Amino acid sequence: MFETTKALVLREVKYKEADRILTLFTADNGKITAKARGALRRNSRTAAATQQLSWSDMTLFFNKGKWTVNEASVIEAFDGLKGDIAAFALGSYFAECVEALSVEDQKEPELLSLALNSLWALSRGLHDPRKIKAAFELRLMSLSGYLPSVDRCAVCGAERPDEPVFDLLDGRLFCRRCCTRGSAVSLDDRSLEAMRYILSAPPKQIFSFALAGDALVTLGFAAENYLLAQTERSFGTLEYYKQFKTD
Ligand SMILES: [Zn+2]
């Protein structure tokens, strides 16, 4: 059975002489594993389209429970990532997160849009990468069933806590004096405002907030550690990205 779909290459692993085993996030079937035979052979027609972080049109063949890439052509190569090692590392982290939080064989259009919009913004240098990363992480958590609850203090109901803190284990907001938990991290007015913006903005506007300096670092710390606390795992690509990060 042949099927055509658009697919984002989340991961590629060399297999045998010239094949690739791909983890694809497809528009029609969600996350699948597919083999691209001969993709590493010289003059291969599928080489570019089966590279990690390529967004491609693919014709796939499904037989006995296994997918094979029959034809593939690049729609968007995200070239801006390929010439910038830090940006590529961050894009690879986005891909690893999507792989970790998506469900095999399940169509997830919002998650796919989030991944593509984030890679696009990163590739084009449209925003500070730290803003893109925090927005990606928070929206990913929200789409994956871990929506933080940051409208008001979970104890006293204050909408603007004097010293806001965010609990990484249950995703709730507290005033510092209301919070008895060791798993909470500090926010400030501006990072809390940005977090609320990111969680409520239309999908294509999630990066359109103004934040810099310490408040951006605070937001980044909370977003990353919330994702790590909820997923209860580490990400090799995140460790790799941090080698290039300058802040
Ligand atoms: Zn309170």
User: Residue 135, SS3?
Assistant: helix
Rounded-to-integer distance, Cα 199 and Cα 17, Å: 45
Distance 199 CA to ligand 1 centre (A): 21
SS3 labels along 146-205: CCCECCCCCCCCCCCCCCEEEECCCCEEEEHHHCCCCCEEECCHHHHHHHHHHHHCCHHH
pLDDT for 245: 74
Equal fold, 2-77 vs 80-242: no
Distance 165 CA to ligand 1 centre (A): 10
pLDDT for 181: 87
Tokens of residue 164, six digits: 């806001």
One digit per residue, the tens of pLDDT, for the chain of length 247 reads 899 999 999 999 999 999 999 999 999 999 999 999 999 998 899 999 999 999 999 999 999 999 999 999 999 999 999 989 999 999 999 999 999 999 999 999 999 999 999 999 999 999 999 999 999 999 999 999 999 999 999 999 999 999 999 999 999 999 999 999 899 999 999 999 999 999 999 999 999 999 999 999 999 999 999 999 999 999 999 999 999 976 5
Distance 202 CA to ligand 1 centre (A): 29
**pTM for the predicted model, two decimal places:** 0.96
Spell out the alpha helix ranges (H) of the chain: 79-82, 85-101, 109-124, 129-143, 189-200, 213-231, 236-242
pLDDT for 149: 97
pLDDT for 231: 97
Architecture of domain 80-242: Up-down Bundle (1.20)
Distance 214 CA to ligand 1 centre (A): 23
pLDDT for 158: 97
Distance 153 CA to ligand 1 centre (A): 5
Extents of the domains making up the chain:
2-77, 80-242
Give the long-range contacts of residues 114-120, CB within 8 A, separation 24 or more.
114/139, 114/140, 114/143, 114/203, 115/8, 115/25, 116/8, 116/55, 116/76, 117/203, 117/204, 117/206, 118/94, 119/8, 119/53, 119/55, 119/78, 119/81, 119/91, 119/94, 120/76, 120/78
Architecture of domain 2-77: Beta Barrel (2.40)
Rounded-to-integer distance, Cα 74 and Cα 78, Å: 10
Distance 172 CA to ligand 1 centre (A): 11
Tokens of residue 148, six digits: 């933080």
Distance 173 CA to ligand 1 centre (A): 8
Distance 240 CA to ligand 1 centre (A): 38
Distance 72 CA to ligand 1 centre (A): 54
Distance 187 CA to ligand 1 centre (A): 14
pLDDT for 134: 98
Distance 225 CA to ligand 1 centre (A): 22
